[in-house]
């Protein structure tokens, strides 16, 4: 059975483009985004890594460490990073795991199904799929996304999810569909009307189970 939301993110040792790491100590007191790729020198992934490098200040602003994963070795990674920087006009600084034996991919259930794509099997092991894991400072898995090879990931959406998760950790709220920072939020159903009046004066009741409020942060 694969990972579920709320599970502790598996710890592991790995070689990366920024040196050897132990995953949990590397995360430390930060949030983390682990995102995987099937192989180096692939077109969609080249654009994705460039997008993440471009958004590095936004992740840092949210106390988020980013780490990529691909199944080539460090030598290939170094050459690929040069390509990524050239194509995207960026300076990629976050680490990329060299998961040559797909041990981390297996640990996080990031291997494709042979039934899904029989061509995506190498040496008897299915290719690594393109997954995203958001992990909080307690090392708990808070979000899991898996994308097909043909669809590039939207990392602005990843940032939006982080904003929502961090906000709901600070305040008893949830966020509605298409929420963006600054929009009204939903008061958590566990908050009574009496509490809501104290915490969110002037909140709006749409239905007994749906109350919204602006936030002052």
Catalytic choice (9, 45, 84, 104): 45
- Is 148 in the same domain as 175? no
pLDDT in tens, 83-118: 999 999 999 999 999 999 889 998 998 887 654 444
- Is 36 in the same domain as 109? yes
- Is 28 in the same domain as 124? yes
| Structural domain span for residue 41 | 13-152
pLDDT value, residue 120: 47
Domains in the chain: how many in total? 2
pLDDT value, residue 115: 47
- Is 146 in the same domain as 195? no
pLDDT in tens, 15-52: 999 999 999 999 999 999 999 998 999 999 999 999 99
Q: How far apart are CA 25 and CA 190, in angstroms?
A: 34
Whether the CB-CB separation of 31 and 139 falls below 8 Å is answered with no
pLDDT of 124 strictly over 90: no
More confident of the two residues 158 and 121: 158
pLDDT of 1 strictly over 80: no
Which CATH number goes with the domain that contains 206?
A: 3.30.1020.10
Phi/psi of residue 2, nearest 5 degrees: -80, 180
- Is 111 in the same domain as 189? no
- Is 75 in the same domain as 41? yes
**Does 151 qualify as catalytic in the annotation?**
no
pLDDT value, residue 121: 46
Q: Quick one: how far is CA 89 from the chain centroid? A: 23
- Is 102 in the same domain as 205? no
pLDDT value, residue 207: 97
How far apart, in Å, are the Cα atoms of 206 and each of 53, 167, 186, 212? 41, 22, 10, 8
pLDDT in tens, 51-79: 999 999 999 999 999 999 999 999 999 99
pLDDT value, residue 113: 61
pLDDT value, residue 117: 45
More confident of the two residues 123 and 91: 91
- Helix axes of 155-170 and 43-54: crossing angle, nearest 10 degrees: 50
pLDDT of 80 strictly over 80: yes
- Is 52 in the same domain as 122? yes
Q: How far apart are CA 13 and CA 173, in angstroms?
A: 36
% of the chain exceeding 70 in pLDDT: 92
pLDDT of 181 strictly over 90: yes
């Amino acid at each position: 059975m694969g990972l579920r939301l709320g599970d502790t993110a598996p710890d592991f040792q790995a070689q990366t483009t920024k040196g050897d790491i132990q995953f949990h100590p590397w995360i430390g007191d930060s949030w983390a985004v682990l995102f995987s790729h099937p192989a180096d020198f692939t077109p969609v992934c080249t654009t994705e890594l460039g997008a993440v490098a471009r958004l590095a200040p936004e992740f840092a602003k949210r106390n988020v460490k980013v780490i990529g994963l691909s199944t080539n070795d460090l030598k290939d990674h170094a050459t690929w990073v040069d390509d990524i920087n050239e194509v995207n006009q960026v300076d990629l600084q976050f680490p990329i795991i060299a998961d040559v034996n797909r041990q981390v991919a297996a640990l996080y259930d990031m291997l494709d199904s042979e039934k899904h794509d029989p061509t995506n099997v190498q040496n008897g092991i299915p290719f690594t799929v393109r997954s995203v894991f958001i992990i909080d400072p307690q090392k708990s898995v808070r979000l899991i996304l898996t994308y097909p090879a043909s669809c590039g990931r939207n990392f602005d959406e990843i940032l939006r999810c982080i904003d929502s998760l961090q906000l709901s950790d600070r305040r008893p709220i949830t966020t509605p569909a298409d929420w963006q920072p600054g929009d009204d939020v939903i008061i958590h159903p566990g908050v009574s009307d009496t509490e809501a009046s104290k915490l969110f004066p002037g909140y709006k009741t749409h239905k007994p189970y749906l109350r919204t409020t602006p936030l002052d942060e």
